[in-house]
């Protein structure tokens, strides 16, 4: 009897210790890194889409209409920055990237469309601007984006990948429902208008089963934890580096 009580007491102590470890800062980061690894398929998908459209923007001349729109975007951004220097510039860059990352994560709930669209837009615009920089100052001019890109781009990819993972159950339900109904027009429309649906073909059946709607709340909480404990610090570092580089150069 005494032995059973001793075992029970030890089990309770171990459980309490595990709970405390999980709620500690170390435990939170370990949990976040584990969830990022579990979501690697979606992060790699957004990374692949970004790289594809970066190369398109870098290597293929943009149509005149699209080129005009991008120049307008760059002009508008330049006007907003204006004479910002030092800490003010750093804050502007940080909050701009912060909201872009947050929207990419949260709005990914809507079938992952916003996450994929953001990867396409950011990739193409960065490729276009990189092409302009190379034409004006040679390939060495690209080094300017590397220091802050080391921190900023992973933060963006993680945000968009987690957003895509949040929207995936809805896409999965959509395709599963209309496949069962054999409504091929709806499926065709889904592929056309829900671009994220195309990604389904790149994900295995096992991955489909592991991203069900019932786990949405847990995934959303994990995504928010990753946003505050990993993405935000990365964006702070990126903003400081970029702000200092712009001010100095």
Per-residue pLDDT, 9: 55
Question: Rounded to whole angstroms, how far apart are CA atoms 49 and 41?
Answer: 12
Per-residue pLDDT, 154: 93
Q: Is residue 19 part of a domain?
A: no
Q: Is residue 195 part of a domain?
A: yes
The percent of residues above 90 in pLDDT, for the chain, comes to 22
Other CB atoms closer than 10 Å to residue 102's CB: what's the count?
16
Q: Is residue 192 part of a domain?
A: yes
Q: Which domain holds residue 206?
A: 40-248
Burial 165-176 (b: 16+ CB within 10 A, else e): bbbbbbbbebbe
The percent of residues above 70 in pLDDT, for the chain, comes to 67
Question: Rounded to whole angstroms, how far apart are CA atoms 113 and 156?
Answer: 15
Per-residue pLDDT, 208: 46
The model's pTM: 0.74
Q: Is residue 85 part of a domain?
A: yes
- Whether 168 and 213 have beta carbons less than 8 Å apart is answered as no
Q: Is residue 30 part of a domain?
A: no
**Model confidence pLDDT, tens digit, residues 62-97:** 888 888 888 888 788 777 777 777 888 889 889 999
Q: Is residue 165 part of a domain?
A: yes
Q: Is residue 18 part of a domain?
A: no
Please report the sign of the dihedral spanned by the C-alpha atoms of residue 200, residue 115, residue 112, residue 228.
Answer: positive
Q: What does the angle CA 175 – CA 178 – CA 183 come to, to the nearest 5 degrees? A: 130
Per-residue pLDDT, 204: 42
Range of lowest pLDDT (56-65, 102-111, 131-140, 228-237):
131-140
**Model confidence pLDDT, tens digit, residues 116-137:** 888 999 999 888 888 887 777 7
Would you mind telling me the total number of residues written for the chain in this entry? 249
Task: Count the domains in the chain.
Answer: 1
Range of lowest pLDDT (1-10, 163-172, 238-247):
1-10
Question: Rounded to whole angstroms, how far apart are CA atoms 199 and 193?
Answer: 13
The answer for residues whose C-beta is within 8 angstroms of residue 90's C-beta and 6 or more apart is 239, 240, 242, 243, 244
Q: Is residue 142 part of a domain?
A: yes
Per-residue pLDDT, 99: 92
State the average pLDDT for the chain: 75
């Amino acid at each position: 009897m005494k032995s059973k009580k001793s075992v029970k007491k030890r089990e309770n102590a171990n459980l309490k210790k595990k709970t405390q470890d999980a709620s500690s800062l170390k435990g939170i980061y370990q949990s976040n890194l584990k969830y990022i690894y579990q979501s690697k398929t979606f992060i790699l998908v957004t990374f692949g889409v970004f790289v594809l459209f970066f190369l398109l923007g870098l290597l293929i001349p943009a149509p005149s209409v699209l080129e005009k729109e991008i120049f307008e975007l760059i002009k508008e951004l330049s006007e907003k920055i204006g004479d910002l220097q030092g800490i003010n510039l750093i804050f502007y860059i940080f909050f701009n990237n912060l909201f872009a990352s947050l929207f990419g994560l949260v709005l990914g709930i809507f079938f992952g469309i916003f996450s994929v669209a953001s990867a396409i837009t950011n990739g193409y615009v960065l490729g276009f601007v990189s092409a302009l920089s190379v034409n004006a100052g040679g390939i060495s001019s690209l080094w300017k984006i590397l220091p802050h890109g080391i921190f900023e781009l992973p933060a963006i990819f993680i945000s968009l990948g987690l957003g895509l993972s949040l929207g995936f159950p809805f896409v999965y339900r959509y395709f599963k429902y209309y496949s069962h109904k054999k409504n091929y027009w709806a499926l065709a429309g889904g592929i056309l208008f829900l671009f994220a649906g195309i990604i389904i073909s790149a994900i295995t059946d096992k991955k489909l089963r592991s991203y069900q709607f019932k786990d949405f709340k847990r995934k959303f909480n994990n995504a928010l934890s990753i946003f505050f404990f990993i993405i935000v610090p990365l964006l702070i570092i990126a903003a400081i580096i970029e702000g200092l580089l712009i001010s100095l150069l």
